[in-house]
Structure 1
Amino acid sequence: MIKVLRRAADRRRHANGDFAWLFHPYTGDEMVVIDARTIGLDRRSAQLTSIAAVKVRGDRVLTSESLDLHLARPMSLSADLMRRQGLHGMDLNSGLTMEDALERLLDFVGNRPLLGWRLGFDLAILNRELRPRFGFDLPNATIDVAQSYLRRLRRRHPEVETAPRFEKVAELLEVPLMGRHTALGNAVTTALIYLRLEHQASALGRHD
Structure 2
Amino acid sequence: MSWLKQLSSHWQKTHLQRPELASMFDKPLANKWVAIDCEMTGLNPKKHHLLSVAAIHINSDNIDTGNGLHLVCRPPVMPDRDTIVIHGLRTADVEQGMSYDEMLALLLPFIDNRPIVGFCPQIDTGFLNPLVKRYMGTTLPNKVIDVRLLYSRRMGNLAQGDPNQSQHLTKILAHYEIPELGIHDAYNDAIMTAMAFLHMR
Distance 2:18 2:106 in 1: 20
Q: What is the alpha-carbon root mean square deviation over aligned residues?
A: 2.5
Question: 2:42, 2:83 within 8 Å by CA — same for their partners in 1?
Answer: no
Distance 1:168 1:140 in 2: 27
Deviation for aligned residue 1:7: 3.7
Question: 1:82, 1:88 within 8 Å by CA — same for their partners in 2?
Answer: no
Aligned partner of 1:99 in structure 2 is: 101
Deviation for aligned residue 1:16: 8.6
Deviation for aligned residue 1:84: 4.2
Q: 1:161-198: CA deviations, max 9, x gaps?
A: 56131112111221111242210000000011111223
Distance 2:11 2:43 in 1: 29
Distance 1:102 1:150 in 2: 32
Distance 2:159 2:181 in 1: 29
Deviation for aligned residue 1:59: 1.3
Aligned partner of 1:182 in structure 2 is: 185
* Identity, % of aligned positions: 27
TM-score by length of 1: 0.83
Give the partner amino acid of 2:185: T
Distance 1:141 1:148 in 2: 14
Q: 1:1-54: CA deviations, max 9, x gaps?
A: 9x9455431122339923221111112542110011101111322210000001
Deviation for aligned residue 1:90: 5.4
Distance 2:134 2:17 in 1: 18
Aligned partner of 1:17 in structure 2 is: 19
Between structure 1 and structure 2, the one with the greater Rg is 1
Question: 2:12, 2:138 within 8 Å by CA — same for their partners in 1?
Answer: yes
Aligned partner of 2:29 in structure 1 is: 27
List alignment gaps of at least 5 residues for structure 2: none
Between 1:182-191 and 1:169-178, the stretch displaced more is 169-178
Aligned partner of 1:146 in structure 2 is: 148
Distance 1:180 1:158 in 2: 25
TM-score by length of 2: 0.86
Aligned partner of 2:137 in structure 1 is: 135
Q: 1:98-141: CA deviations, max 9, x gaps?
A: 00101110111111111001111111110021112211111112
Partner secondary structure for residue 91 of structure 1: helix
Between 1:141-150 and 1:151-160, the stretch displaced more is 151-160
Question: 2:51, 2:72 within 8 Å by CA — same for their partners in 1?
Answer: yes
Give the partner amino acid of 1:54: I
Deviation for aligned residue 1:78: 5.0
Q: 1:38-88: CA deviations, max 9, x gaps?
A: 0111132221000000111111111112000000243x2255356444323
Task: Kindly tell me the number of residue pairs found equivalent between the two proteins.
Answer: 196
Q: Does 1:193 align with 2:187?
A: no
Partner secondary structure for residue 50 of structure 2: strand
Distance 1:81 1:112 in 2: 35
Partner secondary structure for residue 167 of structure 2: coil
Give the partner amino acid of 1:197: M
Partner secondary structure for residue 54 of structure 1: strand
Question: 2:55, 2:190 within 8 Å by CA — same for their partners in 1?
Answer: yes
List alignment gaps of at least 5 residues for structure 1: 199-208
Deviation for aligned residue 1:158: 4.9
